[in-house]
Amino acid sequence: MEEKNTPGSGRQERYIQASILLGLNASPSYGYELINTIQRYGFIEGAAPPGMIYRHLRQMEEDNLVRSEWETQDAGAAKRIYTITEEGREVLELWVRYMELQASKLQAFVQRYRKEG
């Protein structure tokens, strides 16, 4: 079966924004740590491409969903720490509502299939 015909295949980026917002909702984070966090949510197959994540973070900062600041420590390189904004929390709530609706539709689909055989 070709990949384009495989159920569930498609753009991995679909839920990246929601995943980033959820990760930052728990606590501020830097890029590499955030990549590891969102991989556990299961929306990305394999390793999360850092370029894709950082591209989303830059766009989300421009859209005022996250903000960042440089954290410098005595030892090691400076890290950019990302924090969710109030607007980001509002968008995360919209994502959650959307996902709840989608989950409900998917559950109804599966139940119909199981019932009809």
Instruction: Give me the domains of the chain, ranges plus CATH numbers.
Output: 3-116 (1.10.10.10)
Q: Give per-residue pLDDT as tens, 52-106.
A: 999 999 999 999 999 999 998 767 788 999 999 999 999 999 999 999 999 999 9
Q: Which amino acid is at 73?
A: Q
Tell me the C-alpha distance between 108 and 116, whole Å.
12
pTM (predicted TM-score): 0.84
Distances (CA, A) of 105 to 5, 18, 19, 24: 21, 19, 21, 28
Q: Give per-residue pLDDT as tens, 24-38.
A: 999 999 999 999 999
